[in-house]
Structure 1
Amino acid sequence: MRLKSSKVNEFRLWGLVLMLAGMGFMIAGTAAIVFKFPGSGIITGIGLVLGLITMLGSMAIYFWAGMLSTSAVQLQCPECGELTKMLGKTDRCMYCKTILTLDPSQARNS
């Protein structure tokens, strides 16, 4: 019960968080010039470089999640009937968050 959504969606969430953080760094760096802070050139440079690094990290995570998604096992969720992707031995449905497994030793007896 440590995950609340599917593994692919967790990777996408972290990619989104990094992208928004990168945009925030870039906006904060640009705001230093707009509001004429002392040393605004240095603050802007640092903000833009940090923003670029986090945006590149976001791009790498999205690329990795996409590559994992192409090789993921597709199966139909027994609860909601939607076609979902599964990474590893256990995962959650992308739609209804039901725990799924292909390993009989991991399955719960109903």
Structure 2
Amino acid sequence: MESTEELEEVLKALANVNRLLLIYSLASGEVEKISVTQVSKNMGITQPAASQHLKVLKNANILIAHKEGNFIYYRFNRRSMEKHQKQIDFLFTCAFAKCSQLEKASCKHSEKKEE
């Protein structure tokens, strides 16, 4: 149950276009870490809005924060993301398997109708 609630939090965190764009930006490889100021500037949003998006991603354990001088930088939380990937892969693997079963059953049902 706990892992299901964690996955729910991750999916909610990703269910926002600005946060998805932020993730894509970090995943693109152009930057390894990002600050609130950089997010604000790159996305054309206010610093409080950028801070809020980063906070949501941090609370979902997608990002981790570390302080360097006067700035806090955010980067991917690899361990947590690997765990989430396994959960999502398992969910979709089960769903695709069920779809395949239903498609085969549907095909057999259609074949019988045609006879």
How does the TM-score come out when normalised to structure 2? 0.29
The structure where helix makes up a greater share of residues is 2
TM-score (norm 1): 0.30
